[in-house]
Amino acid sequence: MFVEVILSFLLVTGAAFAFIGSLGLAKLPDFYMRLHGPTKATTLGIGSMLGASVIYAATAEQTFTLHELLITIFLFITAPISAHLLAKAALFRGIEDTTGKVLENVITSHPEPDASQYPDLEDFDDDEDE
Amino acid sequence: MLQTAIYIAFALTTAALIMNMWRMVKGPDLVDRIVALDTMYINTIALLILAGIYMASALFFEAALLIAMMGFVGTVALCKYLLRGNIIE
């Protein structure tokens, strides 16, 4: 009975967090705000539901496995990486925020070398003919 | 009690998936669609885990793990394509 209460609590809170994350993705006004909902709230929600699955397998089926924790750890590692890459892609494409401002030249696909960091070199020309 | 909690969780996750679908269809830019697809992967894992508890079977675990890994690889590949115009250079 006590385990059932914990399981129900974990499942409902996890699903509520996933729902709130998706609500943020659907309703917030600009892309940089929308990125917050799925990457934080939804990840916490699924972590909670996977914890419930571990407890259920340990109590109801008498088989204690940590398989589900594998998914949890994987998601907790990969969610910030994909969020970082998505924000970088959005900056590179020049997407406006709510004020209509575009952050220009923050991300360049092929950055120019900075001459001040290499004082020994005379010039940066790659042409070997000259 | 656990049965009721599972039904509530099913309803919330399904509503979340429908909202992600709406964002993916509407999304003003390509990156919005990529975020929506990534969130749909995560919510699908939640739905599979719930089905595993509801039917008391461990069969859904492998599918959930595969979706987690393939979803991450897909998101990274799409972002890389947007950033560099190429996936494997």
* Sequence-ordered list of residues with C-beta below 8 angstroms from that of A42, at least 6 positions apart, any chain: A17, A18, A21, A22, B16, B39, B42, B43
Q: State the pLDDT at residue A2.
A: 84
The per-residue pLDDT for range A40-82, each reduced to its tens digit, is 999 999 999 998 888 888 887 777 777 778 888 999 999 999 9
Distance in angstroms (rounded) separating the CA atoms of residues A121 and A109:
24
Burial grade of A121 (CB within 10 A; 0-12, 13-18, 19 or more): exposed
A100 vs A71, more confident = A71
> Does A17 score more than 90 pLDDT?
yes
Number of H helices, E strands in chain B: 3, 0
Which chain A residues are Cβ-neighbours of B5 within 8 angstroms?
A: 7-9, 11-12
Q: State the pLDDT at residue B76.
A: 92
Whether B76 contacts B24, CB under 8 Å? no
Q: State the pLDDT at residue B28.
A: 85
Q: State the pLDDT at residue B70.
A: 92
Q: Please identify among residues 71-130 of chain A the ones whose CB lies closer than 8 Å to any CB of chain B.
A: 71, 74-75, 78, 81-82, 85-86, 88-90, 92-93, 95, 107, 109
pTM given for the model: 0.81
Q: Please report the domains of chain B, with CATH numbers, ordered by start residue.
A: 1-84 (1.10.287.3510)
Which chain B residues are Cβ-neighbours of A5 within 8 angstroms?
A: 1
CA B42 → CA A8, A52, A105, distances in Å? 20, 16, 32
Which chain A residues are Cβ-neighbours of B49 within 8 angstroms?
A: 46, 49-50, 53, 68
Closest C-alpha among B76, B56, B44, B70 to residue A83: B76
Helices B30-54 and A43-59 meet at what angle, rounded to 10? 10
Start-to-end C-alpha separation, chain A: 83
The per-residue pLDDT for range B26-74, each reduced to its tens digit, is 878 889 999 999 999 999 999 999 998 888 887 888 888 899 999 999 9
CA B73 to chain centre: 13
Burial grade of A20 (CB within 10 A; 0-12, 13-18, 19 or more): middle
Q: Does A56 touch chain B (CB under 8 A)?
A: yes
Place of tokens 């042409």: A127
Whether A75 contacts A47, CB under 8 Å? yes
Q: State the pLDDT at residue A130.
A: 47
> Does A94 score more than 80 pLDDT?
no
* Sequence-ordered list of residues with C-beta below 8 angstroms from that of A118, at least 6 positions apart, any chain: none
What tokens were used for A97?
């925020």
B23 vs A103, more confident = B23
* Sequence-ordered list of residues with C-beta below 8 angstroms from that of B27, at least 6 positions apart, any chain: B33, B36
